[in-house]
Amino acid sequence: MSGPLTFLAASPHLRGELFENAVILLLEHDEQGALGLIINLQTPQTVSELMADAPGQYEQAWLGGPVDPTLGWCLYQRSVGFEGEVELVAGLYMSSSLEVLRAVMDSKQTYMLVLGYTGWGQGQLAQEARQGVWLWVEQDTPDLLWQVAAAERWDEAFRRLGVNPGTIMPGGAQA
């Protein structure tokens, strides 16, 4: 992956349990559609509770979105040297490989096990952005993920944009 990371911050007017105040790490966006992971919505389960063969993993699992919650993604900071890992930017790797997840857990580094993902069909994300549903936050580093507590990521995304969420009017840009 080249270029900065793109995070999507939900408009303060977006209501609904799953996406209200969501921050999404956008992994893919092209003419076919888009795919991302919510990075500020923890599940009530720990990794050990979800994976009986992973004792001692007390990190909370995360809900990446409503699509295919049986699919797991591992976000982590340092390469473990296995096939199937992708460096998004320096300090942020991703894989959906169980072998990589196990190596990451063994390495004792900070990681997130994210279940499911968010998805948009062809042109859907661009349309939602025009309607003001999502604000795009581009960052050169993964600090928003690793250095900011989950409960503060939405507020911090707006701060990094220099925007007070209370000043945003409903609706998108009009030309």
Q: Which pLDDT tens digit goes with each residue over 105-164?
A: 999 999 999 999 999 999 999 999 999 899 999 999 999 999 999 999 999 999 999 988
**Tens digits of residue pLDDT in 44-66:** 999 999 999 999 999 999 999 99
User: Which one-letter DSSP state was computed for residue 65?
Assistant: -
Give the pLDDT band of residue 174 (cuts 50, 70, 90): very low
Question: pTM value?
Answer: 0.93
Between the CA of residue 127 and those of 73, 124, 130, 157, what are the distances in Å? 27, 5, 5, 21
Quick check: 72 and 111 in contact, CB under 8 A?
A: no
Cβ contact 80:61 at 8 Å: no
Q: Give pLDDT tens digits for 64-93.
A: 999 999 999 999 999 999 999 999 999 999
- Residue 172 has a pLDDT of 59
Considering only CA atoms, give the Rg of the chain.
Answer: 16
Q: Is the dihedral of CA 88, 90, 94, 99 positive or negative?
A: positive
Torsion angles phi and psi, residue 135, rounded to 5? -105, 135
- Please check the confidence at residue 175 and state whether its pLDDT lies above 60: no
